[in-house]
């Protein structure tokens, strides 16, 4: 999959109302849904960390400060460098929120909770999990998850990118 197609898939997921612009509310809602799904409290350090990382990511994405990110703005911004400096901390913090036993890995239930809260169709989650669980132990490591998302947004081969972001 080329990087523009990959970016379109991610953009479509982030643009929850489909109006062609990612709003700050749409972007922030993702973290709030993960917080709600986990039942964590407002003062939980992991919640604070996820929100802080999300606010930083939004500020980077909305570089002109107009309150919305079009596909062209997103496509110009997104990629390996943006992932490494901005997106990885956000996705890592959200991963940590659902990693209930703090073992650095998610089982299918935790992965489903995360990806559903982030806006992926439920129908894609099991195939994405299976693609990431390369050793078949029923767990996905934080590093493998982040590396796969990075590969997807960078237009590289990703074992789960298409499954995670394909909208049905």
pLDDT in tens, 36-49: 999 999 999 999 99
Which CATH number belongs to the domain containing residue 13 in this structure? 1.10.238.10
Q: What is the pLDDT of residue 99?
A: 96
What's this model's pTM, rounded to 2 decimal places? 0.88
pLDDT of 10 reads 84
**Residue 45 sits in which domain range?**
3-165
pLDDT of residue 34: 93
Q: Report the pLDDT value the prediction gives residue 149, as an integer from 0 to 100.
A: 84
Q: What is the 3-state secondary structure (H, E, C) of the chain?
A: CCHHHHHHHHHHHHCCCCCCEEEHHHHHHHHHHHHHHHCCCCCCHHHHHHHHHHHHHHHHHCCCCCCEEEHHHHHHHCCHHHHHHHHHHHHHHHHHHHCCCCCCEECHHHHHHHHHHCCCCHHHHHHHHHHHCCCCCCCEEHHHHHHHHHHHHCCCCCCCHHHHHCCC
The list of the chain residues with pLDDT below 50 reads 167-168
- Give the model's pLDDT for residue 168: 44
Query: What confidence score (pLDDT) does residue 80 get?
Result: 85
> What is the tally of structural domains in the chain?
1
pLDDT of residue 166: 56
pLDDT of amino acid 167? 46
């Amino acid at each position: 999959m080329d990087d523009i197609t990959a970016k379109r898939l991610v953009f479509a997921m982030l643009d929850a109302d489909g109006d062609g612009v990612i709003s700050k509310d749409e972007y922030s809602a993702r973290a709030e849904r993960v917080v709600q799904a986990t039942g964590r409290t407002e003062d939980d350090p992991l919640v604070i960390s996820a929100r802080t990382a999300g606010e930083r990511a939004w500020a980077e994405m909305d570089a002109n400060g107009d309150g919305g990110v079009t596909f062209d703005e997103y496509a110009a911004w997104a990629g390996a460098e943006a992932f490494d400096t901005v997106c990885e901390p956000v996705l890592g913090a959200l991963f940590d929120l659902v990693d209930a036993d703090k073992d650095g890995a998610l089982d299918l239930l935790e992965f489903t909770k995360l990806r559903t809260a982030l806006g992926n169709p439920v129908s894609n989650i099991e195939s994405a999990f299976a693609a990431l669980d390369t050793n078949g132990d029923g767990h996905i490591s934080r590093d493998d998850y982040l590396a796969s998302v990075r590969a997807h947004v960078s237009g590289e081969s990703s074992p789960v990118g298409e499954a995670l972001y394909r909208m049905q």
